[in-house]
Amino acid sequence: MTFDYDLFVIGGGSGGVRAARVAAATGAKVALAEEFRMGGTCVIRGCVPKKLMVFASGYAEMCDDAQAYGWDVTCGAFDWPKFRTQLHKELDRLEGIYRKLLSNSDVEIFDARASLKDAHTVTLSTGQDITAKHILIATGGRPVLPDIPGAELGITSNDIFLLDELPKSILIVGGGYIASEFAGILNGLGVKVTQFYRGAQILRGFDDEARGLVAEGMRDKGVNLHLGTNIVEMRAPTDQDLTGEGMSAPIEQGKPTSVSSGKPVKGIWVKATNGNEAIYDQVMFATGRAPNTEDMGLGDIGVETGRRGQIIVDDYSQTTVPSIYAIGDVTDRVQLTPVAIREAMAFVQTVFKGNPTKNDYEMIPSAVFTQPELGTIGMTEEEARDIEPVEIYCTSFKPMNHAFAGRSDRVMMKLVVSRETRKVMGCHIVADHAGEMIQLVGIAVKMGASKEDFDRTVAVHPTMAEELVTMKDPVRSA
């Protein structure tokens, strides 16, 4: 049987673009369909615009620090429209690079939505049917609104980069990394931020001490964080709400409309599980993401999906239909760009290079770009001590740059060490540039370095990271 292509990739995000390019480099005839913008979540509405907003939000503190260091500077107001214009110019540039990379690799691009007709055929939204020997689904995921009355009045991370103006106040709902990062970003940009999380502490799954220090740091910087709290109900304000004590929102042109007078009002009335009622300019939900598997014909052709809609794959990213593979967020394994890229590389090794390759999910370093930032690799103290006896080396201190500037920010460096093998099982850093640090220390931890290997490494002085190699005694054994 002959096919139009050797490989048809659905989705032009981190995983799909990499798989298409690398497969094409083996001489395979490759096509890719993207329904929105090339680059996917990471480039268009995830990692990249978020990190640029993290940078933007840091300048107010830097201005204060500059004064403390003797500079005669004053920071004016943040100009959101100016930043947003520049941001989108940069995203357009990056999208252009992705398109060029694909076309230079001879990957044919279809700007269309694709669904599956059978094990070797995709149907495009243009009506065209295309056949391929292998199909790779890399359609990622999307934010979902929770099942709360009035939730449709809220926005998600997708909308935040497109706002016409920055809200004066925002309620961010969620305790994961996206919610917590945007709480820090918007707080830094001068928005009055309240964050609700229904759990006992933000950043579930990360090391408890690290989570605690991040939450404390966020509060110190001005985020009004409420734990064990959720929204009961939200709606457009009534005129009575607007004149009620402690609740005032300017009546301006905008959405939604007052439920009592029908006049346009700005703001959303929210009732919380703690009984508080308040009006916020915006409510942003970062309470969950769902895989993009709807209306793709997956079930009809036998591609199995899980309870949350994620595509079920084996260790080689193969679905229950042998000619169809899936990688990245749509499989709900580890939802990070570098993981989607590695799954793409392993897929190409397996299918196009005759070298069956499983992806390695052990010891994945990652960063949370909260303020303060968190870098992490390996097991948390809580996970490790459930497995074997461990020693905990941990230090928390005020770094010299912050101490000089009179800031209260503290840094934490923590190593979780196996008592038996002496291997470093986990490393957790809360500090400026923790993401950069964890990338480097992650190499040693991934290689299986022991605590004594760390100790043998000469400190780089004066740095924050030198503490990682100078911690003498464990703070506790567990």
Give contact residues for ligand FAD (rule: CB under 6 A). 10-16, 33-36, 40-42, 46-47, 50, 113-114, 138-140, 157, 178, 292, 296, 328-330, 335-338, 340
114 vs 437 by CB, closer to ligand FAD: 114
CB of 325 to ligand FAD, least distance (A): 13
Rounded Cα distance, 469 and 92, in Å: 43
Structure tokens, 176: 């994961």
d(C-alpha 25, C-alpha 82), whole Å: 40
Q: How far is the CB of 291 from ligand FAD (least distance, A)?
A: 9
> By C-beta, is 202 or 471 nearer to ligand FAD?
202
What's the rounded Cα separation, in Å, for the pair 451 and 441?
12
Q: In angstroms, what is the minimal distance from the CB of 14 to ligand FAD? A: 4
Residue nearer to ligand FAD on the CB measure, 207 or 343:
343
Least Cβ distance, residue 161 to ligand FAD (angstroms): 9
Closest CA to 235 of 264, 256, 217: 256
Q: Which residues of 369-392 are buried (b: 16+ CB within 10 A; e: fewer)?
A: bbbbbbbbbbbbbeebbeeeebbb
How wide is the angle at C-alpha 247 spanned by C-alphas 242 and 253, nearest 5°? 45
Is the torsion defined by CA of 51, 54, 59, 64 positive or negative? negative
Q: Chain centroid to CA 75: how far? A: 29
Name residue 289's beta-bridge partners.
Answer: 143
Question: 280, 170 in Cβ contact below 8 A?
Answer: yes
Does residue 149 have a cis peptide bond before it, meaning omega lies within 30 degrees of 0?
Answer: no
Phi, psi of 216 (to 5 degrees): -65, -45
| Nearest residue (CB) to ligand FAD, 331 versus 380 | 331
CB of 178 or CB of 392, closer to ligand FAD:
178
- Which residues are designated catalytic? 461
28/284 with CB nearer ligand FAD: 284
Of 202, 201, 184, the C-alpha closest to 193 is 184
- Closest distance of CB 264 from ligand FAD, Å: 30
- CB of 51 vs ligand FAD, minimal distance in Å: 6
Please list the residues that pair with 173 across neighbouring strands: 196, 285
In this complex, which beta carbon is closest to ligand FAD, that of residue 15 or of residue 426? Answer: 15
Query: C-beta of 180: minimal distance to ligand FAD in Å?
Result: 11
Find the Cα–Cα–Cα–Cα dihedral 402, 408, 409, 410, rounded to 10°: 100
Q: Are 155 and 179 in contact (CB under 8 A)?
A: no
Q: How many residues does the chain have?
A: 478
